[in-house]
Each structure stands twice: as C-alpha cells, then as structure tokens.
Structure 1
Amino acid sequence: MSIGELINNIYPLAETSKLMLENYVTEVQLSKGHILFRADRIETSIYFIKKGLVRAYAESEDREITFWFGKEGDTAISMKSYVENQKSYENIELLEDCEFYEIKSRDLQGLFSSDIEIANWGRRLAEGELIKTEERLISQLFQTASQRYEGLLNEHPDLLQRVSLGYIASYLGVTQASLSRIRSGLK
C-alpha cells in the first residue's frame, strides 16, 4: 500500500496537500522483535504500517497484556504523546519484519498550522483511533471471550495465522487453556 493510499484512507486530501504531507514521510524497515514504542517515553513519531504486524501491550506486575494488533494499513501511534506530548503507557513490538512510513510529530504539527486540509486530516486520524479504542473497550466490557474470539475470526482471520496463541489469549483476556476450550467449542 502506498503512502498516498494510506493518507486517503484516513481522509482524502487535495493533491497539493497530500504531496506536502508526503514530503515529510520517510520509509523505515525494522526487524521482528524490535520495540517500536516503549512505555514511559514521549514518542516523537507516527508510523503507518506498509507491511508487517505489530502488537501493543502494557506490562502488569508479572505479565504482559496485549490490547491491540496492527497490520498493513494501520497506524502505530501513542495517542498520549500525539495529543498531549506526554509519556506513553504502551509498548509496541514488531511480530514480523516490518516496513513503515514514518512522520515526525513535530513536522506534522507544523503542517497542521500551515494547511487546514492537513489539520483536518490529523483530526480525522485522531477520531479514527478514538473509535477503534472505543470499539475495543465496548467489546471487552460487553462480550464474552467466545464472542470476542468469533469477532476476531470474522474481522481479522489472518491474525490467527500470524499471531501466537499466547498473544491472542492475552488480547481476549483469557488463559491459553481457556482459549483452547473456546477454539474446540467452535469446531
């Protein structure tokens, strides 16, 4: 997926604004296992996933809790850093070798000041991330683990081929043994 397609999927821009935004984007390749974002740091970049898979997780006492998977076309962003310029709470780890489009937050903020279309694009980016977060929260609060697993099967069946069952179980909020029971109950 090209950077132009990713930009337009968030919010279509006039060609001049899109070219202006693209001028600040660089391509980055990183290896599986790399930690893209670390908790308790102000993140200064936003990444758009061109190729590959990542997971966001938080550490809680003796375990990691996976709460998001990002794949081609998704945005890897610390909203806390992006919106409030404060330390993030999440870690983002590459589960596969990845290719990203990267833009520095300070450059994007400068573009917001100089181009209203890009400012609106940034607003739509933030709104889209808010809706995804809200949907995940509602799913966690109102669906059973089985329903969440079925939703994952229906909406992102490729993740089950690309992500370890331990991370899937963590994402669903269950143990691996419970996930095995859920999976066998669906067969």
Structure 2
Amino acid sequence: MEIEQIINQIHTIPETSGLKLRRVTEEISLPKGHILFEADKIGRSVYFLKKGIVRAYLFQHDTEVTFWFGREGDTIISMKNYVENKPGYENIELLEDCVLYRIKNRDLQKLFTEDIHIANWGRRFAETELIKTEERLISRQFSMAADRYKALLTNSPDLIQRVQLFHIASYLGITQVSLSRIRAEIR
C-alpha cells in the first residue's frame, strides 16, 4: 500500500499538505524478527506498513502475550512514546520481512504546528487509534474465545495463513490446545 493511500485512509488532506508529509517520510526495509519498538525504551518514529505483518506483545510472567497484529496499511506506533515521549509498554516485532514508511516524531510534531490540515489529520489519526484500542479491549473482555476467533477469520482471514498459531492463541488469550479445539469445532 502506498503512503498516499495510507495517509488518506486516516483522513483526506489537501495535496499540498500531503506533499509536506511525504517529504518527511522515508521508506525502509527491515527483516523478519526485527524489534521495531522495545518495551521500556523511547521510540522516535511513527511507522506505516507498506508490506508485511507485525505483532505487539508484552511479557507476563516470562510469557509473551500478543495483543495486536498489524498488516499492510496499518500504523505502527507506541502511543506512550508518541503522546508523552516516554518509554512504551510494548514490544513490536516484524513477523515477515517488511517494507515500512517512517516519519520521525519531531518532524511530524513540527508539521502539526505549521499546517492545520496535517494537525487535523493527526487528531483524526489519534482518534482512530483510540477506537481500535477500545474495540480490542471490549472484544477481549466480553467475547468468548471462539467468537473472537470467528471474528478474526471474518475480518482478517489472511492472518491465519501468515501468523504462527501460538501467536494467534496468545492474541485470543487461550492456549494452543484450546485454539486447536476451536478450529476443529469450526471445521
């Protein structure tokens, strides 16, 4: 997915504002397994995923708990880094070789002060990320694992093909054995 598409799916901005954003955007390629954000460290950039898949996870009792997957067109960000310039909670790992667009936080913050359209885009971006987080929280709290798996199949069927099952089980908050049972029941 091209950067113009990603920008405009968040919030449409005039071409001149889009050009300003594109000027501070760098396309990079990183290998599978690369840790883009590390817990307890400050990241200095926002990323947009052109190609590939990533996951966000935390350690709980020496176990990795996956709580988010990102794929083409998604934003990769540590909100605590971005909003407060403080170390984030999460680790974000590339699950495939990825092509990303990177914008340094300081460049983005500067554009927010210079261009009202980009500032409004940034507000809309933050609102969208908040809604996505809220939806994940509500789903995890109030849906059964089988229903969350079915929703994953419906909304993101490619994840099942591209992500290892133990990451999906972790994301659903269940064991791999429970995931196998759910999968067998659905078949």
TM-score (norm 1): 0.99
Check if 1:123 corresponds to 2:123: yes
1:64 maps to a residue whose letter is E
CA drift at 1:128: 0.7
Give 2:51's aligned residue. 51
Equivalent in the alignment of 1:184: 184
How far apart, in 1, do the equivalents of 2:43 and 2:130 lie?
A: 18
Aligned residues: 187
Corresponding residue number in structure 2 for 1:17: 17
The residue number in structure 2 matching 1:26 is: 26
Counterpart of 2:16 in structure 1: which amino acid?
Answer: T
Q: Post-superposition shift, 1:19?
A: 0.2
1:71 aligns with 2:71: yes
Question: Could you report, residue by residue, the CA deviation over 1:110-136 in whole angstroms, capped at 9, with x for unpaired residues?
Answer: 000000100000011111110000000
- In structure 1, how many angstroms separate the alpha carbons of the residues matched to 2:43 and 2:127? 19
Partner SS, residue 32 of structure 1: coil
User: CA–CA distance in 1 between the matches of 2:159 and 2:12?
Assistant: 28
Structure 1 residue ranges without an equivalent (≥5): none
The 2-side partners of 1:168 and 1:36 are apart by 20
Q: Deviations over 1:80-100 (max 9, x none)?
A: 111111110000000000000
1:32 deviates by 0.3
- 2: distance between equivalents of 1:28 and 1:10? 21
Find the aligned partners of 1:128 and 1:43 in 2 and give their Cα distance: 20
Instruction: Give the Cα–Cα distance (whole angstroms) in 2 for the partners of residues 62 and 117 of structure 1.
Output: 44
Identity of matched residues, %: 63
1:62, distance to aligned residue in structure 2 (A): 1.7
Return the alpha-carbon distance in structure 2 between the equivalents of residues 20 and 34 of structure 1: 29
Partner Cα separation in structure 1 for residue 14 and residue 58 of structure 2: 38
1:158-178 Cα distance to aligned partner (Å, 9 max, x none) = 000000000000000000000
Matched with 2:169 is 169
Q: Report the Cα offset of residue 61 of structure 1.
A: 1.7
Where 2:39 maps in the other structure, the secondary structure is coil
User: What secondary structure sits across from 2:134 in the alignment?
Assistant: helix
- Structure 1 residue identity aligned to 2:156: H
Tell me the equivalent position of 1:157: 157
